[in-house]
């Protein structure tokens, strides 16, 4: 080990896109190498858990922890890296809000395991075997990490210093944070979202916005959107109005609606409820004169029925970190 500050990156329940995003800072990786001893990253380096446990507490300058907490191993590593790190950053949407893995909270652990290992047309499992944390084999006891009941965000299991949103974070924002650490710049108060803006994606989207009145919603494959007009005004559910800016609005620029990966704007605690409230104010339910409450409610219901998946649309990235959190057990 050199005398340079140590940098770590851990991969919990996530897809690996955050590691790719870090590599996408391109030649600036040389600056990272010059400033840090990059000493722990399971998908790139062969550092073992025992090596990390042997380090003195707070000996890692910065840990970028990506991925949600799905297994006992994820949770154990979150606590270990909290002890060993001066600064622990929830890096990316999975660690920050739970992201796609967090949609599993709509089902119980038993339901998930049954779907994967039993009720699956592609599975050949005549003995109905479901993995268990511990099994006896001739060589001894074979163990795998326990599958937790729920997906949690990093901050739900340990204290987090900062949050970098995105699925994955945009490379220019990653570099802005790393550069600030390298240069010793003053970071915001603990618990802040960094590597992002303070407003909404709509504020950095160049599309023309007028009065929004939506008479029906479209799936993305149903229409070819006009390239200059606000996608929400064209009936596509664009989450930009309920999503923090800082990404540069690349999805609307590519004629695709924002799906919300940068999380809620500053001051908003629940991204899904923010989006639902926004939609409620722009639905075109027609002339209500002479119509009964039941007729008006039926019109609203018909509009909302064109949204195919409420949870997957409004809480695609934020379910575990939201107010509702997922499945409500009776």
In a domain, 137, yes or no: no
| Those residues with Cβ within 8 angstroms of residue 7's Cβ, 6 or more apart along the chain or in another chain | 32, 36, 37, 38, 39, 60, 61, 62, 63, 64
Report pTM: 0.90
pLDDT confidence of residue 287: 62
Q: Which of 160, 193, 226 is the last residue before a domain boundary?
A: 193
Query: Residues 302, 234: one domain?
Result: yes
The verdict on 28 and 154 lying in the same domain is yes
Look at the block and give the residue holding tokens 């409820």. 273
Which pLDDT score is estimated for 329?
A: 54
Do 185 and 209 belong to one domain?
Answer: no
Q: Is 276 exposed, middle or buried (0-12, 13-18, 19+ CB in 10 A)?
A: middle
* Shared domain check, 94 and 54: yes
Which residues in the chain come in under a pLDDT of 70? 1, 285-290, 327-330
Cβ-contact 317, 167 below 8 angstroms: yes
What pLDDT, on a 0 to 100 scale, did the predictor assign at position 13? 96
Residue 320 resides in a domain = no
Does residue 248 fall inside a structural domain? yes
What pLDDT digit, counting tens, does each position of 291-309 carry? 777 877 777 777 777 787 8
Full residue range of the structural domain in which residue 237 is found: 201-314
- Sheet with 37-40: list strands edge to edge: 37-40, 6-11, 60-66, 85-91, 162-164, 192-193
pLDDT for the residue 330: 45
Ranges of H-type helices in the chain: 17-23, 29-35, 49-53, 72-84, 93-97, 109-117, 171-182, 201-204, 250-253, 271-280, 293-304, 310-314
Please, what sign has the CA dihedral across residues 102, 106, 111, 116? negative
In a domain, 288, yes or no: yes
pLDDT of res. 304: 77
Residue 171 · residue 25 · CB < 8 Å: yes
- Looking at the fold, whether 182 and 206 belong to one and the same domain comes out as no
Residues 286 and 245 in one domain: yes
CA distance 125 to 113: 13
For residue 90, give the 3-state DSSP assignment.
strand
**pLDDT confidence of residue 278:** 87
How many domains is the chain built from? Answer: 2
| Shared domain check, 295 and 165 | no
């Amino acid at each position: 080990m050199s005398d340079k500050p140590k940098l770590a990156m851990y991969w919990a329940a996530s897809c690996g896109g955050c590691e790719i995003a870090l590599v996408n800072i391109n030649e600036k990786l040389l600056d990272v190498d010059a400033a840090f001893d990059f000493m722990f990253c399971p998908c790139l380096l062969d550092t073992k858990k025992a090596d990390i446990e042997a380090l003195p507490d707070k000996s890692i300058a910065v840990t970028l922890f990506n991925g949600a907490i799905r297994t006992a191993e994820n949770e154990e590593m979150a606590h270990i890296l909290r002890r060993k790190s001066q600064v622990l950053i929830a890096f990316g949407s999975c660690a920050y809000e739970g992201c796609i893995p967090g949609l599993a909270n709509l089902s119980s652990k038993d339901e998930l395991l049954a779907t994967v290992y039993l009720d699956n047309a592609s599975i050949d499992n005549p003995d109905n075997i479901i993995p268990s944390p511990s099994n006896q084999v001739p060589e001894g006891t074979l163990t795998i990490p326990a599958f937790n009941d729920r997906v949690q965000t990093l901050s739900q299991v340990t204290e987090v210093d900062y949050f970098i949103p995105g699925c994955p974070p945009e490379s220019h924002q990653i570099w802005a944070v790393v550069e600030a650490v390298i240069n010793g710049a003053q970071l915001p108060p603990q618990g802040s979202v960094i590597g992002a803006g303070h407003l909404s994606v709509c504020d950095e989207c160049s599309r023309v916005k007028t009065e929004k009145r939506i008479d029906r919603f479209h799936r993305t494959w149903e229409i070819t959107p006009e390239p200059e007009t606000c996608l929400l005004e064209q009936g596509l559910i664009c989450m930009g109005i309920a999503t923090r800016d800082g990404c540069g609005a690349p999805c609307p620029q590519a004629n695709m609606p924002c799906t919300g990966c940068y999380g809620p704007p500053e001051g908003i605690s629940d991204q899904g409820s923010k989006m639902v409230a926004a939609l409620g104010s722009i639905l075109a339910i027609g002339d209500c004169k002479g119509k009964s409450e039941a007729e008006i409610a039926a019109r609203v219901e018909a509009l909302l029925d064109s949204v195919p998946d409420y949870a997957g649309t409004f809480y695609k990235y934020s379910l575990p970190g939201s107010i509702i959190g997922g499945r409500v057990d009776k």
